[in-house]
Amino acid sequence: MFRSNVLLVIFISVLVSCKNTSVGIYTPKSRPITTIDPTTAATITGTVHFEGAIPATPKIDMSNDPDCGAKIASSENLMVDRGNLANVFVYVKDGLGDRGFAVPQTPVTIDQRGCRYFPHVLGVMTGQPVQILNSDSTTHNVHPMGHANHQWNGSQLPNSQPLSKTFTEPEIMLPIHCNQHPWMHMYLNVVDNPFYAVTGPDGRFEVKGLPPGDYTIAAVHEQLGEQTMKVSVGPKDAKQAAFTFQAK
Ligand SMILES: [Cu+2]
């Protein structure tokens, strides 16, 4: 009896250890890497428009830190030029299934310059390095305030080394603030596929290298929210997609 109990315990232990090693937690990193065939890859391009009255751009008073340089700056929360909306994050939200994609080891860069973040909206893949620079003669304290990704903050003295960080969980419009300068904020978009873009001042975006398929494309703006669109692409297709956000 004792012997059979011992055997049962050993058997269960083996089962548990197998479960831990062979099943594990399903993460994007565990997905097999998809090879994209450049001869069939498709492209989606488009423009994001803004319709309605453009509210006056709020001014930012930076005078409490003379080392910021300028005393007054303009808010970047709503950047519209001739009806074109900048700083919209456009990405493939759905349709890729369980495909995994190679993560670039080339870092994306955030610069702190004149007590502003450059860029204001940025995309990065899960696990890709994010390099954070301080080009100012003042101290900043970088504070990502995510939900899926754990929060941290790090001070950066003038002329200090760049911070190098990674974000492991997909998260859209993850706010990054500076604890020293309350007006400083930007948005990082962490995705587990390479099919994303941020609209420039002309409202344009381009998502390229897509395997043929049926996708949901999302366009997300920090104040105006999210819009989605179904787009199907065949081999070597070049499709157009247009989004329009209305004034709130
Ligand atoms: Cu700062």
pLDDT at 29: 57
> Do residues 106 and 229 touch, judged by C-beta distance below 8 A?
no
Domains of the chain: 32-99+195-248 (2.60.40.1120), 102-192 (2.60.40.420)
Ligand 1 centre distance from Cα of residue 198 (Å): 23
Ligand 1 centre distance from Cα of residue 26 (Å): 37
Which residues are in the CB-under-5-Å shell of ion ligand 1?
A: 140, 178, 180-181, 184
pLDDT at 73: 92
Ligand 1 centre distance from Cα of residue 105 (Å): 27
CA triple 49-51-57, angle to 5 deg: 95
Ligand 1 centre distance from Cα of residue 190 (Å): 22
Ligand 1 centre distance from Cα of residue 224 (Å): 26
- Give the residue among 90, 96, 176 at the shortest CA–CA distance from 130: 176
Ligand 1 centre distance from Cα of residue 79 (Å): 22
pLDDT at 17: 34
pTM above 0.75, yes or no: yes
pLDDT average per 10 residues of sequence, the chain (248 residues): 46 35 42 90 98 95 94 95 98 95 96 97 97 97 96 94 96 98 97 97 97 98 98 97 96
Strands 42-51 and 130-134: unpaired
Ligand 1 centre distance from Cα of residue 156 (Å): 9
Ligand 1 centre distance from Cα of residue 1 (Å): 69
Ligand 1 centre distance from Cα of residue 205 (Å): 29
Strands 204-210 and 42-51: antiparallel
Residues 6+ apart with CB under 8 A from 23: none
